[in-house]
Amino acid sequence: MEDAEYTLMDAAEDGMWWYRAIHARLLAALAERPGVEALPMLDAGCGTGGFLARLSRGSARPAFGLDYNPRAAARAAAKSGLPATAGTINALPFPDAAFGAAVSVDVLSHSAVDQGAALAELHRVLAPGGSLVLNLPAFEWMFSAHDIRVHNARRYTAAGAVATLRAAGFTEVSARYWNSLLLPLMVLQRKVLARGANHASDVGDFPPWLDSLLHGVSEIERRARLSLPAGGSVLLTATRP
């Protein structure tokens, strides 16, 4: 990911509607599938620590972060007060069965990630019965300048992502699209209004009224537990048998 994107993430992830929306979904997924609660959690691809900070405020369970960018990992540790280390998801620097749950947000899609190796590593560091929660960008046809800025190499369908996790040895795999109600606006923004690779980032300050509106729509979708056949992202949960 571009260094500028990390800077924008650091400034936005405590308040921007999208981060609040994904954090709420991660927390809900972990509440439903906590995995092995006696063991800590891993945020694989923690960025500058927004979700780690949420965990530090709301959970007594130990958690660790990892990010490929050393400066991001250091910022994550400072922001959250939790340990975070620099490293690659392709070869996680943790022992076998060290974690009871792991989350990873928009990391498997990254151009530097070997999808097979990364899933094998997540499988390895999770204890039997451990839970995996993944967020992935949806639909190859949605590939845009935003993906170029964050170094995405691939996007996913729910069915394809489920098959990928099952092939990697995970069980009880489920997937749900989200940002479904806002998908038409995403298509308009990314495919029509911002076609060039040099457009402004999708991450940043929104007018307060717009941020509240977007978050409100996302919350309606989440609280109603809508399951629609398309969305901007795919949220998956799985178990390490």
- Assess contact for 6 and 48: CB atoms under 8 A: yes
Give the model's pLDDT for residue 194. 64
| Confidence bin at 21 (pLDDT 50/70/90) | very high
Q: What gap in Å lies between CA 225 and CA 50, rounded to an integer?
A: 24
In angstroms, the Cα distances linking 148 to 28, 109, 124, 215, 221 are 30, 12, 30, 25, 28
Give the model's pLDDT for residue 3. 76
Give the model's pLDDT for residue 201. 56
Model pLDDT for residues 39-62, shown as the tens digit of each residue: 999 999 999 999 999 999 988 899
Give the model's pLDDT for residue 195. 59
Q: What gap in Å lies between CA 25 and CA 194, rounded to an integer?
A: 27
| Confidence bin at 200 (pLDDT 50/70/90) | low
Structural tokens at position 20: 């609040």
In the chain, where the domains are located? 3-239
Q: What gap in Å lies between CA 147 and CA 139, rounded to an integer?
A: 12
Model pLDDT for residues 158-196, shown as the tens digit of each residue: 999 999 999 999 999 999 999 999 999 988 887 777 655
| Confidence bin at 4 (pLDDT 50/70/90) | confident
User: Is residue 238 helix, strand or coil?
Assistant: strand
The pTM assigned to this predicted structure is 0.92
Q: Return the closest-CA partner of residue 132 out of 170, 75, 183.
A: 170
More confident residue, 124 or 143: 124
In CATH, the number for domain 3-239 is: 3.40.50.150
Q: What gap in Å lies between CA 51 and CA 157, rounded to an integer?
A: 24
Q: Return the closest-CA partner of residue 72 out of 50, 41, 42.
A: 50
Model pLDDT for residues 205-237, shown as the tens digit of each residue: 778 999 999 999 999 999 999 999 999 999 999
| Confidence bin at 197 (pLDDT 50/70/90) | very low
Model pLDDT for residues 65-98, shown as the tens digit of each residue: 999 999 999 999 999 999 999 999 999 999 999 9
- Sequence-ordered strand ranges (E) for 40-117: 41-44, 63-67, 84-86, 99-105
Q: What gap in Å lies between CA 223 and CA 196, rounded to an integer?
A: 35
Percentage of the chain beyond pLDDT 90 is: 80
Give the model's pLDDT for residue 192. 72
